[in-house]
């Protein structure tokens, strides 16, 4: 289950520059609005030092890290929902993502125009927020108009429940409150799942700063952090310019460059960690001479469900899971040595998978 994130923001906030850098693609990043019309999709591998250890010790034929997919859409402007700029039709391209990454301009640069005339992160966030809210409101209203009359007439229990759930959303959206700020029951979540409402998705604010502010931030970043704290969202401070320079370096030079800057990880690494934390994700591994592979799963998933991530047959025919923690693998040097020291466990259907588990699934179909 590779991660998917949608990148949104106003024009000229560093959105496409950042996308270019983290996905190493060369899309148009011009100094004028609407340089990006079609959505751009890029995939990056998720760095994990534990996978490096497995590769070093197992010497497999291939190594497969888990992935992170980014979709970059055209910059939104005030009034997009009413047809300004390119309108908001391309928001459909990010309805399938797991999380929204909103790039917020937190740097001054007279050479890069701001579509609203001056730097104001709070105003920028609210502009994007309004456009996403209106987009969701249109979808929810359209659905309500289709089913409400029939639901009331037939008094169908499920249809009436959907109507009430939709009205709950409309009440929030009409007050310009994103749906991620509301609490929904499991039944309500099921009703809303197929609509892929954007404001219901978790959001990470990416505060794009200058190279000079990468260590300590600035007053603009403080504004973004204050806003995000009110909705339990996360903020990742980075510099699109630095990320662009890092993308041109090999791993060794990248480490030296980060060291010179006084930081220990790139903005991309911080973003991936923040996204995993926000979505409650973790990683398990399968290891052997043929392949060492990292798999993303949601915390709380049981062994059969994780087996199903590899193949549906694994979940259907699940028998047992041979599990070694990465810590024990690292300590004893191999799965075999860990087993000889009593550290390989045989787990059943109720076992809740843990981050770093190295697993071999037994199944029978």
Tens digit of each residue's pLDDT, the chain (365 residues): 568 888 888 888 888 888 888 777 543 333 333 334 456 788 888 889 999 999 999 999 999 998 888 888 766 656 544 544 444 556 777 788 899 999 999 998 877 666 666 889 999 999 999 989 998 999 999 999 999 999 999 989 999 999 999 999 999 999 999 999 999 999 999 999 999 999 999 999 999 999 999 999 999 999 999 999 988 899 999 999 998 888 888 888 988 998 998 888 888 889 888 989 988 999 999 999 999 999 999 999 999 999 999 999 999 999 999 999 999 999 999 999 999 999 999 999 999 999 999 999 999 87
Of 30, 40, 39, 19, which is closest to residue 247 (Cα–Cα)?
A: 19
In this prediction the pTM is: 0.83
User: What pLDDT shows up at residue 84?
Assistant: 46
> For the residues of 254-267, what is the DSSP string, one character each?
HHHHHHHHT-SS-H
Which pLDDT does position 148 carry in this prediction?
A: 93
Give the C-alpha separation, 151 to 137, whole Å: 20
- Please state whether beta strands 345-347 and 318-324 pair in parallel, antiparallel, or not at all (unpaired): antiparallel
Report pLDDT for 26: 45
Return the SS3 of 352.
strand
The pLDDT value given to residue 180: 94
Residue 285 has what pLDDT?
97
- C-alpha torsion angle, residues 314, 315, 321, 324 (rounded to 10): 90
* DSSP H helices in the chain: 15-23, 49-58, 121-154, 157-173, 186-193, 219-229, 240-246, 251-261, 267-279, 303-310, 312-316, 326-332, 335-340
pLDDT of residue 71: 82
Tokens of 110: 């007279």
Q: Is 117 exposed, middle or buried (0-12, 13-18, 19+ CB in 10 A)?
A: exposed
């Amino acid at each position: 289950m590779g991660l998917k994130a949608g990148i949104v923001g106003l024009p000229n906030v560093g959105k496409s520059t950042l996308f270019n850098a983290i996905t190493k693609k060369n899309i148009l990043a011009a100094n004028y609005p609407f340089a990006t019309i079609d959505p751009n999709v890029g995939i990056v591998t998720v760095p994990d030092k534990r996978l490096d250890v497995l590769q070093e010790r197992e010497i497999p034929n291939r190594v497969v890290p888990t992935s992170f997919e980014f979709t970059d859409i055209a910059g939104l402007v005030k009034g997009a929902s009413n047809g300004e700029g390119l309108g908001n039709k391309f928001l459909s391209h990010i309805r399938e993502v797991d999380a929204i990454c909103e790039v917020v301009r937190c740097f001054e640069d007279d050479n890069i125009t701001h579509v609203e005339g001056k730097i104001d992160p709070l105003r920028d966030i609210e502009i994007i927020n309004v456009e996403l809210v209106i987009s969701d409101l249109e979808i929810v209203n359209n659905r309500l108009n289709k089913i409400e009359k029939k639901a009331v007439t037939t008094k169908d229990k499920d249809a009436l429940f959907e109507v009430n759930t939709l009205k709950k959303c409309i009440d929030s959206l009409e007050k310009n409150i994103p749906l991620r700020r509301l609490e929904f029951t499991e039944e309500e979540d099921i009703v809303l799942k197929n609509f892929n409402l954007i404001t219901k998705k978790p959001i990470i604010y990416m505060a794009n700063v200058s190279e000079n502010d990468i260590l300590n931030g600035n007053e603009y970043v403080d504004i973004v952090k204050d806003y995000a704290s009110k909705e339990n969202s996360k903020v990742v401070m980075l510099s699109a310019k630095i990320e662009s320079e890092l993308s041109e370096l090999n791993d060794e030079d990248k480490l030296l460059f980060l060291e010179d800057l006084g930081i220990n990880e790139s903005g991309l690494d911080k973003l991936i960690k923040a996204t995993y934390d926000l979505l409650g994700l973790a990683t398990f591994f399968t290891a052997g001479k043929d392949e060492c592979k990292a798999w993303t799963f949601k915390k709380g998933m049981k062994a059969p469900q994780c087996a199903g991530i590899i193949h549906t047959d694994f979940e259907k025919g699940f028998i047992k899971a041979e599990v070694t923690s990465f810590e024990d693998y690292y300590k004893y040097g191999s799965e075999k040595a860990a087993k000889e020291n009593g550290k390989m466990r045989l787990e059943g259907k109720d076992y809740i998978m843990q981050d770093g588990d190295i697993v071999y699934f037994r199944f029978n179909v």
